[in-house]
Structure 1
Amino acid sequence: MFTSATPCVAFHDDRQIAEGALSAVARLTKPLLDQGDSSLLIFDATSSELIQFDIRGSIDDVLARLPAPAAVAPDPQPEAAAARGPGRPKLGVVAREVTLLPRHWEWLAGQRGGASVALRRLIDEARHANKDKDRIRHAQESAYRFIAALGENKPHYEEVARALFAGDADRFARWTAEWPADVRDHARRLAAAAFDRPPTAPVSVDPAAANR
């Protein structure tokens, strides 16, 4: 879900025309949106999901309708915390129901610190073990959303997509070399986190070499 503070990037045809918080990007792009220009696309700068919003009325009307960022909830009063039941809200610990088989509860009960500590430790270990895989997957998904929206009619689109999911930075750089500069550069920025290392190949396209 986007808010008025969501970082965005706007492209008109193949040219990047705005970047920043959605409220600022909306202000800059509203004249084109009012014209019904379908070649203007606004992307979430992190996920590359397309952002659409109600453009009716003045820019003040538009901005007033944009969801505001979630406010940080104040620390609960003692009586409110007591009403919540189990958990340690001030530390960010919240009690929720977990459904497990008897053998799982038996194993957890024998762990140092009890079930809650053991579950938190297991989750933290899994997050740490998978953080590189998660980073790569999120980067691939974001870059692919962008190139699917703006690169599908560009030269070597299929080769670019294959290089992205193969984790081949050199081929990705080589095949995007002929793309318009703004689209190429943004696609490379998005894809960078999907590669274990930056590209080292020259940016000139050599189809024969790329197919080896």
Structure 2
Amino acid sequence: MLDQSIPPYSAFQGNCLISSGSLEDVALAAHSATGTRPDVSVLIFENASGKQVDLDLHGTAQDVRQRHNSAGTESPRRSPGRPKLGVVAREVTLLPRHWEWLGQQPGGASVALRKLVENARRDDDGTAQARRARDAAAGFMQTMAGNLPRFEDALRSLYRQDEAQLLALIEAWPADIRTHVAALAKGSFPHTPEKAPAQ
């Protein structure tokens, strides 16, 4: 899960962060920055994944707002399951022995799968969240900082979970890129809880 202090989307024009926020806000800022100038390039990133997002910025600001409205004006299509209860039906592919085992469980396959997922989520020690943060930072770095000095060393320190070295290596990078990398990567580093001061 993305750190709640990091907005869901960010837009960069060159090395400068021009907007962070909802998809609608970032799309409008990108539309405003590009205006009628096709030579201006704005890159938009989904911060949870670090991946670049391509948006249709053509037309007026109102057109862009309607296309990328976070509220979503379209009604969701009806799918199997019990949507009122929050249950969504999806397809799962398993081997016959897995289906046999699931069929023998009390409550059936769906109940057994839900219990397995809940147990796995509860037992997760934060490694999955740390991996997602690391992958988001790495994806952003590869796009925005791939040509910057010490990029490879910085990427290695990210994967080694060496926060101090990463921050030292990116010190010479443009401020907005450096700050964004540090924010995305923060959740990937093991942090020890702060000790209470001795009394």
Shift of 1:131: 5.9
What is the aligned partner in structure 2 of residue 15 from structure 1?
16
Higher helix share: 1
Q: What TM-score do you get using the length of structure 1 for normalisation?
A: 0.71
What is the aligned partner in structure 2 of residue 51 from structure 1?
53
Alignment of 1:71-82 (within 5 A): none
When the two chains are superposed, the root-mean-square deviation of aligned CA atoms in Å is 3.1
Shift of 1:55: 2.5
Measured against aligned partners, the alpha-carbon deviations of 1:130-156 in whole angstroms (never above 9, x if no partner) come to 462221221122111111111112121
Distance verdict in 2 for CA 1:58–1:160, change over 3 Å: same
- SS in structure 2 of the partner of residue 50 of structure 1: strand
Shift of 1:193: 0.8
Measure the CA separation in 1 of the matches of 2:160 and 2:167: 13
Distance verdict in 2 for CA 1:11–1:125, change over 3 Å: same
Opposite residue 123 of structure 2, the aligned amino acid is A
Shift of 1:178: 1.3
Q: What TM-score do you get using the length of structure 2 for normalisation?
A: 0.75
Higher relative contact order (CA 8 A, sep 6+): 2
Contact 2:106 2:112 in 1 (8 A): yes
- For structure 1, list consecutive stretches of 5 or more residues without a partner in the other structure: 1-5, 77-83, 199-212
Opposite residue 18 of structure 1, the aligned amino acid is S
Contact 1:7 1:22 in 2 (8 A): yes
Shift of 1:30: 2.0
**Which range moved further: 134-143 or 102-111?**
102-111
- Paired residues, number: 184
What is the aligned partner in structure 2 of residue 171 from structure 1?
165
**Which range moved further: 164-173 or 62-71?**
62-71
Shift of 1:101: 5.1
- SS in structure 1 of the partner of residue 30 of structure 2: helix
Instruction: Give the % identical residues.
Output: 40
Contact 2:43 2:52 in 1 (8 A): yes
User: Does 2:144 align with 1:150?
Assistant: yes
Measure the CA separation in 1 of the matches of 2:184 and 2:12: 15
Choose the corresponding residue for 1:91, options 85, 100, 108.
85
Shift of 1:61: 2.1
- For structure 2, list consecutive stretches of 5 or more residues without a partner in the other structure: 1-6, 193-199
User: Does 2:149 align with 1:138?
Assistant: no
